[in-house]
Amino acid sequence: MMHRVHILLVFLIFGCLRPTIDTVDEMPAGSTLSRCAAQTLPWDSIVPLPAKHWEFVHFEQGLISGIVLSSDAEGAYYQSLILGQEEGPMTLEIKLNLTDNALFYPRGSRVIIDLKGLSLRRKENQMQLGVYSSSYGNPLLAALPTPEVMRKLSACGISVLSPIRIDHLDVLDTLWPGSWVLWPRLKFKESEVGKPYVAEKQNSGIRRLEDCDGSEVVLQYSGYESFADAVIPQGSGTVHGLLTAAAPATIQIAHWSDLNMDLERCEQPSTDDAAFFISEIADPDNDTKGRFIELFNAENERLSLAGWSLQRYTNDAQEVSHVIDLSGMNVPPGSPLVIAAHAEGFEGIYGFHPHLVAGSTSAANSNGDDTIALVNPSGQVVDLFGQIGIDGSGTAHEFEDGRALRIPGVLRGSQSFKPSEWIIYNDTGASGTIKQPLSAPQDYNPGTHLIE
């Protein structure tokens, strides 16, 4: 009897990669073969529109297909299966109670799902499939029990995975969480090298990487990986993984072999002398939530802001009042970086989301009489607006109820404030400024800066 069980298991796993249990009592003979050849529905036709809260769809019938992107073969993605569209950007998590699911649905498997009786929920670009439930009137999505998994999911062969190559962080904004990515030119931060991959077993956590330009990437783990004791390598190379979040850039690997750090450790190029400067500071007369500060990259190549910061000296302060750490940001060539203090307020006024959101005491929320310094990775001030220790009220660097706009001819920052490089509007007109309060959005153009 035991011998027959072994034969059946080998057939299920290796014979056809069809783990669906086809018994006379449960399903008609040959149903798995039929399902694998059946017509499936496009994902776009069954998913709800994106919303900020979970939206549910309940299915009475239909089949969909997808490619398995995750794997629990080495302890990651416990009781979870991540699928990607065969042709398209969407990803989907199936919640299931099945353990060792990589035996039945290995990475790269084409899976057909019978949707009858299942429910899907979506919030923005997150989608999950499971069994609808509720608790105290609140809708929930429960995991599929193991017998239901085996009835509903059919593995129909293996596909070749083509990862999305990540050459710069801007690509992440276009991807769904769970996307299969290949990230070249990565290395673990020096403080991580030599440590075990998992800090405390059976507890989730993160390790920090950076690319060869200094931009940070987070690597998260479940704590149950079989390679928990593997030592973090010194070199640099590529990482295959699933995208967990775009901001901050976060990925998760399923196998230790998904890391390939055999190359010599790359060094971050110096950006200390980059043509990067403050291009505009805004304090609208009609709405403080429209305040922002804009920086501009005049270089002919993408600029990593690892180690860069923006400092505010409030009023006549001689010590720094607030620091915005710009590390992790990248600015394309000839492009601005817009920083706001109020994300929703800014978007409501100007119609787009700022590149970065800072605090209410930051340089992005200046009321027009502060001094602002842009500082490079070596700690040098490369651009200065205003004079440290001098309140801007009534001076050449007052922009209260107006804005300070860098003239188009400026292509680099200045370590000292030069009023001739600025056009400044305010409510006083003192010291050569223009007495003309401005209103948002009509008097401002964040994200657009002219150079000559």
Residue 30 makes CB contacts below 8 A (sequence gap 6+) with 22
- Give CA separation, 62 vs 28, 40, 117, in Å: 18, 7, 10
Asked if the model's pLDDT at residue 31 lies above 80, the reply is no
Check residue 15 and give its pLDDT: 35
- Cα–Cα distance, 283 to 128 (Å, whole number): 43
Residue 17 pLDDT > 50, yes or no? no
How far is 231 from 128, CA to CA, in rounded Å? Answer: 34
The DSSP call for residue 287 is -
CA dist 441 and 431 (Å) reads 26
* Interatomic CA distance for residues 304 and 211, integer angstroms: 10
Work out the pLDDT band at 7, boundaries 50, 70, 90.
very low
Residue 393 has pLDDT above 90, yes or no: yes
pLDDT, tens digit (0-9, with 9 covering 90-100), for 284-340? 999 999 999 999 999 998 898 988 999 999 999 999 999 999 987 889 999 999 999
pTM: 0.69
The angle formed by the CA atoms of residues 373, 377 and 383, to the nearest 5 degrees, is 25
pLDDT tens digits, 186-240: 999 999 999 999 999 999 999 999 988 888 899 999 999 999 999 999 999 999 9
The verdict on domain 164-263 having CATH code 2.40.50 is yes
- pLDDT at residue number 260: 96
pLDDT (tens digit per residue) in 261-298 = 999 999 877 888 999 999 999 999 999 999 999 999 99
Query: Is residue 68 within 8 Å of residue 111, measured between CB atoms?
Result: yes
Rounded CA separation 368/438 (Å): 12
Angle at 70 between CA 64 and CA 75, to 5 degrees: 140
pLDDT band at 34 (very low <50, low <70, confident <90, very high): confident
Calculate what percentage of the chain has a pLDDT beyond 90. 80
**According to the model, what pLDDT value does residue 213 have?**
81
- What is the number of other CB atoms lying within 10 angstroms of the CB of residue 29? 10
Position of tokens 């290995």?
106
pLDDT at 27: 35
Q: Residue 132 in contact with residue 2, Cβ under 8 Å? A: no
Domain boundaries, the chain: 14-158, 164-263, 276-435
| 299 SS3 class | coil
Tokens of 115: 């949707």
276-435 fold: Immunoglobulin-like (2.60.40)
